Amino acid sequence: METEILLDDLDFLVSETDEHGIITNANRDFVRISEYELDELLGHSHHIVRDKDMPASVFEELWTTIKRGETWSGYVKNRTKSGKYYWVKATVSPLHMDDGTIGYISCRKKASREKIKEAEKLYKEMK
């Protein structure tokens, strides 16, 4: 049986990536919830926390949206280092760096049980 980690109301997970989705920064809440050390996250694809139940089409939509320079928002099921899972309400936006490059910032917070149930149903149908 899978074990779910329930986020607290005040948890706020933040990560930054380069234009390819490689993690360049992560805050303490993300490190703690993901069960990875910061140095295990940095330099790795954000896929490191992707759960197998997430339809690939959700991430295709996310990337299409943010590459257009727009903000994407939705519900995501992630996986921890030890194999537990957690749901978040995610918002991902482009970041324009001082050196002219573009990266992305992802801010995630606790998802409501109602929204999780809706997402589970939708994602099951999509797979």
> In 3D, which of 5, 4, 19 has the Cα closest to residue 63?
19
CATH number of the structural domain 12-126: 3.30.450.20
pTM, rounded to two decimals: 0.94
* Mean residue pLDDT across the chain: 96
In this predicted model, what pLDDT tens digit does every residue of 84-115 receive, in sequence order?
Answer: 999 999 999 999 988 888 999 999 999 999 99
Enumerate the domain spans of the chain. Answer: 12-126
Which segments of 1-127 are extended strands (E)?
A: 12-17, 23-26, 72-79, 85-96, 102-110
